[in-house]
Amino acid sequence: MDNLSEPMNDVAHLGHVELLTPRPDESLRFFTDVLGMAVTDRVGQSVFLRGYGDYERHTLKLTESRQAGVAHVAWRTTSEPALARRAAALETAGFGLGWIDGDSGHGRAYRFVDPDGHVMEVYYATERYQAPADQRSRLKNQPQRYSGVGIGVRRIDHVNLLCREVTANRVFMEEKLGFRLREHVILDDATEAAAWISVTPLAHDVAYTLDATRSRGRLHHVAYWVDNREDVLRAADIFLENDVVIESGPSKHAITQAFFLYGFEPGGNRVEIFSSGYLILAPDWEPIVWTQAERARGQAWGLRLPPSFHSYGTPVVEVPASELLHVPVVDPR
Amino acid sequence: MDNLSEPMNDVAHLGHVELLTPRPDESLRFFTDVLGMAVTDRVGQSVFLRGYGDYERHTLKLTESRQAGVAHVAWRTTSEPALARRAAALETAGFGLGWIDGDSGHGRAYRFVDPDGHVMEVYYATERYQAPADQRSRLKNQPQRYSGVGIGVRRIDHVNLLCREVTANRVFMEEKLGFRLREHVILDDATEAAAWISVTPLAHDVAYTLDATRSRGRLHHVAYWVDNREDVLRAADIFLENDVVIESGPSKHAITQAFFLYGFEPGGNRVEIFSSGYLILAPDWEPIVWTQAERARGQAWGLRLPPSFHSYGTPVVEVPASELLHVPVVDPR
Amino acid sequence: MDNLSEPMNDVAHLGHVELLTPRPDESLRFFTDVLGMAVTDRVGQSVFLRGYGDYERHTLKLTESRQAGVAHVAWRTTSEPALARRAAALETAGFGLGWIDGDSGHGRAYRFVDPDGHVMEVYYATERYQAPADQRSRLKNQPQRYSGVGIGVRRIDHVNLLCREVTANRVFMEEKLGFRLREHVILDDATEAAAWISVTPLAHDVAYTLDATRSRGRLHHVAYWVDNREDVLRAADIFLENDVVIESGPSKHAITQAFFLYGFEPGGNRVEIFSSGYLILAPDWEPIVWTQAERARGQAWGLRLPPSFHSYGTPVVEVPASELLHVPVVDPR
Amino acid sequence: MDNLSEPMNDVAHLGHVELLTPRPDESLRFFTDVLGMAVTDRVGQSVFLRGYGDYERHTLKLTESRQAGVAHVAWRTTSEPALARRAAALETAGFGLGWIDGDSGHGRAYRFVDPDGHVMEVYYATERYQAPADQRSRLKNQPQRYSGVGIGVRRIDHVNLLCREVTANRVFMEEKLGFRLREHVILDDATEAAAWISVTPLAHDVAYTLDATRSRGRLHHVAYWVDNREDVLRAADIFLENDVVIESGPSKHAITQAFFLYGFEPGGNRVEIFSSGYLILAPDWEPIVWTQAERARGQAWGLRLPPSFHSYGTPVVEVPASELLHVPVVDPR
């Protein structure tokens, strides 16, 4: 089938992420009071949340669990036929887990794993967020009013996944789901240490980074978008006043030119507040290759990320520093 | 007495403003939920409020009244002797109303009127804000934590008063209280149409503007400071989402170079969200004179303020447009 | 041919715009010194320019002419087959002008007119900008160094065209080129007064607005992007200091949520400095419909655009105000 | 003489700083092309420069020298009598170097040394900057047009001096010149490791910090103000693109809440691009005391300054790391 091998334009965008937390109440307060997100549903041990600009009913599913981590990453397709094509391709390739009936807010979804073992799904049918009267924005093109509470994140932006082998996962996402490589880091020994890929003009919808602990299926971070760099600076003050541990930032990444702030939600997952960056509208974009020497220069303005940035992920894996994979000066975002 | 005629350095800064409102509950919600101010006391029909950066216990006293307007404007002196000197000078000049024992948050104060009839007071003894544990900032040099609620104003900045005659009031403030003229508007007929004066390096702690209704003792607006122009832009969205009527802005004034946003609190008083501007550190500043022709060019970027800006004040006075004083192209801020 | 009627994904983005100017030297100085653009070529009476983030060699062709206006608007396709498909479809529909060999910086292009008569072209082969050593950015993913001169626009964003009939042009762009309707204004009499359409996730790559002078083929404005709202505020000061007439802004549009500043380049063409807005990643976006009453509320924060915004375009057409088409409260951007 | 011991209000503000550079041409290009300052005079081996908002003719004197460093720091007094009082007090205290006739841009000045040996001067008579026609701002209250070149610093802000003993210098500045202590760091062994002092409402006009090399008379940095934090972020990109070594930032200091960026001009002197912070209007400000433990937490958002920040100054002194004074976790700004 020709169209199985031409995945381009079948996946529309990152839909939602399911985060696991061993401290569900505190995690929830973090996302509502500090990030300013709204709760849209509660089912079992899960709470569903959204940024004020997300057009779908939710983009974050927060689920109580023994350990932190990412339970699944969901991609919305461009149509029902596109969904069928992707499901068939994934099934054929042997990565399929099968169909689920759907979940709060969206219809049937085809579940699969990436080569590293992260659970993902593709779906098309979705519930558009319909704001109740007191949540309606005065701006007709905005799904929900801007509440002015906390950081006030606008929409989900991307997810960064740790993995044992970047190339295998990156190529899988390209071939099976139509992602395009935007930027990547190639070490002196030719190892691909990190890759930023997208189906949208964003410089990444997902990034894959080497996991220094050699684990599988771990999360590096999930990122929410704010409109302005000033919002990221303001977010740092809000993190500070709310005793959220700031790992790094605000500062500017060289790769993707993102203006970033990294902190940890109470469950242990790393969260990024993100703005700026650049759009890729070229249909024939040539991936940016960063060498080991170039990465050694730090972030755009010379900032060095702390060691935790290169080894910490969720679920937390305790590995003696001496046994960590040595990835020369790679900033895995 | 020599020191009565040398008022320089006796007045330190604007202390607080007492606003009157016929809709006390809605006004209070405006200042707490929209501006993000904190309540520090309630006495009788008054509620006391503060911005997170105000070092005194409060800077706004909100008092229920039949009509909107300003009940009094308070200036903190640099010392007790300075207070005594100013009281004596005001008494001698015949503007004194006498001493009061003080009010919630500050000690004895000498009350007086300016030539236009606005009630003012000078005081020195004050209560420094001591944040309760849950309001303590992680920044030791900040009196209170930044809450992240609403606009999040930092501190009181200035007050703008309408009057029948600018020069009389401006000279009174210079001679009796040590204010210095920073900028003013002189019309073609030599009328001084507005004056921006200060005892601090701010371009104005108070401004006097001609009242087009020929009333006395009215308020044009009270202004609260935010740290960044982006905060003013964000404030406009918060005004919008909370159905606060925006009169003008965000934009940049030519005079004082302030970045402004004007709206109305539910009681009817005009409130400005304010940032930027410039500091005057020169001890021998030469006042900037704006001519009628120069004012006709509008604000810094050409914006025209609406007619209401030139005639509306509190308490509201109904005057037929035909009877309004015609002040050629003056933007009274 | 099935694929002629399925234009989706054949057009990638706005490529470049050719502006006409009767004052070429002053216009050039405006684009280089005020906007901070770089010259990449000169051919005959034309100069080619670029923003520091444009990946193609140029995005603006500035051509000396008797009158201001837009000579052509160019769209890059996603591939050579896509170009062939679009050319065939346009030819078939009777809008074709034929192939040209190309121009400085790009290969062969198929020229056509939209229903209103604006000349456009589609092309695929393009010359990627290769920065000379002294223009190379320290950021590897940036085509050219940020010079810090003037406003420093990053990339072309969109073009706004005046027309006699919005619907005809909008539907033409949808059907022949794959544009999708994002937002539009529908008057009480059912007239479509303006439409914002795009092939990218930007809220518009081109907008069509009713021409109050009932002329054909005129330009409302061309817009260049800057990364931050602060850059737009800074641009206003740069316009001010360089005697560029500011027509309106900086402020926020309700439609597209763009943060805008409009001024006129010396040749008379309106230019927008633009930032912010929102991205449309939904594959099944439902167009936002603005009613006459909603438009009457002004821009996002209540600002009213001046009358010139509703009738001025280039080439300039002198029409008595009494003969202007009355478009009730429409802000044509 | 009573008024010699009451220095309060005799010193108005920091006037100018004379920097020494062994690479005068490159240093000059840095201040003009990167910082966007204007040259106002050249005398002998010195060039005089200004920010667009400086009201005096210049605030920086750049002088060719064998070594980098600060040649003198100048303070403007509030009047001629105030100058006479300060000169007499300094003379009496044995710190005087005597009168000089003046220099380009200002009248007679009394030269003295602080206890650490930094040469300073007080002066009153000054030349206000009169912009030539092509440098006149469209904003009447702005001394010079905003050029839009490079970073575009507005005005001198403060200077930071290294010293062998903080307390002696801080008390000297308080007692002889009327500075007030705003914030300081007191180590566990009671050593005062750094002090921020001012005569203006700025949190510091000058800071004194322990010199880890135990040298005398060295400069830590000179700081120029920009209006917005966004300007500091933009400055970082301009530093990057111009190969200016960024030592740290942009980020936010806990002390003074300054938003900072540190880099080195080609002569070797550290330069800060600075915005934000807070104003001290309280006449009875209680100095903020930072403990060793509090300083160990890093800057406001947790950033650690690099080791160079704690030992590098100009003139450069080569001291083996093992012989450096160990100042526990002090960030000397």
B119-147 pLDDT, tens per residue?
Answer: 999 999 999 999 999 999 999 999 999 98
Tens digit of pLDDT for each residue in B37-73?
A: 999 999 999 999 999 999 999 999 999 999 999 999 9
- Residue A181, both tokens: 């490589």
Tell me whether residues C301 and B239 touch, CB distance under 8 A. yes
Continuous segment of H or E residues that includes residue B11: strand B11-21
**pLDDT number for residue C119:** 98
Are D249 and A300 a contacting pair at CB < 8 A? no
DSSP bridge pairs for C198: C180
Interface of A with C (CB under 8 A): 9, 12-13, 53, 55, 76-79, 128, 139-142, 154, 183, 200-203, 227-230, 254-257, 276, 278-279, 281-283, 286, 288, 290, 294, 300
pLDDT confidence bin for A3, thresholds 50/70/90: very low
The whole-angstrom distance between A96's CA and the closest CA on chain C is 24
* Subunits in contact with chain D (3 or more CB pairs closer than 8 Å): A, B, C
Q: Which residues of D touch B77 (CB under 8 A)?
A: 283
How far does the CA of residue A332 sit from the closest CA of chain D (Å)? 19
In contact, C177 and C199? CB cutoff 8 Å:
yes
Contact C238 D137 (CB under 8 A): no
Which of C279, C280, C290, C292 is best to mutate for the A interface (most A CBs within 10 A)? C279
DSSP class per residue in C13-81: EEEEEEEEES-HHHHHHIIIIIS--EEEEEETTEEEEE-TT-SBS-SEEEEE-SS-EEEEEEEEESSHH
Token digits of residue B197: 């004066």
Q: What is the mean pLDDT of residues D185-206?
A: 97
Kindly determine whether residue B236 and residue C252, on different chains, have CB atoms separated by under 8 Å.
yes
Q: Do A282 and C55 touch (CB under 8 A)?
A: yes
Nearest CA in chain A to B238: A148
Kindly list the residues of chain D whose beta carbon comes within 8 Å of any beta carbon in chain A: 229-230, 233, 236-237, 239-240, 246, 249-252, 259, 300-302
DSSP conformation letters of A226-276 = -S-HHHHHHHHHHHHHTTPPEEEEEEE-SGGGEEEEEEE-TTS-EEEEEEE
DSSP run (H or E) holding D308: helix D308-311
Rounded CA-CA distance C151/C233 in Å is 10
Average pLDDT over residues A104-133: 98
Let me know if B167 is exposed, middle or buried by CB neighbors in 10 A (0-12, 13-18, 19+).
middle
Q: How many CA atoms lie within 13 A of D100 on its CB side?
A: 16
Gap between the Cα atoms of B119 and B97, Å rounded: 9
Asked if residue B330 has pLDDT above 80, the reply is: no
Chain D residues with CB inside 8 Å of A273's CB?
A: none
Is the pLDDT at D319 greater than 90? The verdict is no
Q: Look at residue D17 in the predicted model and tell me its pLDDT.
A: 98
A12 contacts on C by Cβ (under 8 Å): 281-283
Domains and CATH numbers, chain A: 2-143+152-323 (3.10.180.10)
Q: Which chains touch C (3 or more CB pairs under 8 A)?
A: A, B, D
- Which residue of D233, D238, D244, D275 is the best one to mutate when testing the A interface, meaning the one whose CB has the most A CBs within 10 A? D233
**What are A249-295's pLDDT values in tens digits?**
999 999 999 999 999 999 999 999 999 999 999 999 999 999 999 99
Alpha-carbon distance D159 to D70, whole Å?
10
Q: How far apart are the first and last CA of chain B?
A: 35
Token pair of D53 as six digits: 């908002």
What stretches in chain C show pLDDT beneath 70? 1-6, 328-333
- Please give the structure tokens belonging to residue D91: 């003379």
What average pLDDT does range B224-253 have in this prediction? 98
Q: Which residues of B touch C236 (CB under 8 A)?
A: 252, 300-301
Selected residue of D76, D279, D286, D290 to mutate for chain B interface (largest B Cβ count, 10 A): D279
DSSP state of B257: G
Cβ <8 Å between B231 and A230: yes
Answer whether the bond into residue B315 is a cis peptide, omega within 30°. Answer: yes
- pLDDT cut 90: percent of chain A above it: 92
Residue A329: is its pLDDT beyond 70?
no
Which of A329, A319, A317, A121 has the alpha carbon at shortest distance from A220?
A317
DSSP string, B223-241: EEE-S-HHHHHHHHHHHHH
Residue type, B65: S
How far is the alpha carbon of A6 from chain D, nearest alpha carbon, in Å? 40
- ipTM for the predicted complex comes to 0.95
pLDDT band of D333, cuts 50, 70, 90? very low
Task: With a cut of 70, say whether residue D161 has pLDDT above it.
Answer: yes
Are A310 and A331 spatial neighbours (Cβ–Cβ below 8 Å)? yes
CB contact under 8 A, A76 and C283: yes
Contact A275, A259 (CB under 8 A): yes
Can you list the positions of beta strands (E) in chain D? 11-21, 38-43, 46-50, 60-64, 69-77, 96-100, 109-113, 119-123, 155-163, 180-186, 192-198, 206-210, 219-225, 246-252, 258-264, 270-276, 288-291
Inter-helix orientation angle C166-177/C80-93, to 10°? 140
Pick from A237, A246, A301: CB nearest D236: A301
Contact D252 A236 (CB under 8 A): yes
Q: What is the mean pLDDT of residues A96-116?
A: 98
- How many angstroms separate the CA atoms of C211 and C220, rounded? 9
Chain A residue with the nearest C-alpha to that of B33: A148
CA dihedral angle for residue B310, residue B313, residue B318, residue B323, rounded to 10 degrees: -30
Q: Contacts of residue B228 in chain D, CB cutoff 8 Å?
A: 228-230, 276
Handedness of CA D194, D199, D201, D202 (dihedral sign): negative
Round to whole Å and give the CA distance between D28 and D48.
10
Task: Please tell me the distance from the alpha carbon of residue B13 to that of residue B198, in angstroms, as a whole number.
Answer: 8
Please state, rounded to an integer, the average pLDDT across all residues of chain B: 95
Size of interface A-B (CB pairs under 8 A): 46
Contacts of C301 in chain B (CB under 8 A): 236, 239-240, 246, 249-250
Residues in chain C: 333
Residue B295 has pLDDT above 80, yes or no: yes
Among A128-142, A317-331, D6-20, top mean pLDDT goes to A128-142
CB contact under 8 A, C243 and D146: no
Whether the bond between B328 and the residue before it is cis, its omega within 30 degrees of 0, is no
- Nearest-10 crossing angle of helices C229-241, B229-241: 120
Give mean pLDDT, residues A176-199: 97
Round to whole Å and give the CA distance between D92 and D86. Answer: 10
Q: Residue A40 is inside which H or E element, if any?
A: strand A38-43
| Residue C325 Cα distances to C165, C193, C219, C309, D238, angstroms | 12, 11, 17, 13, 48
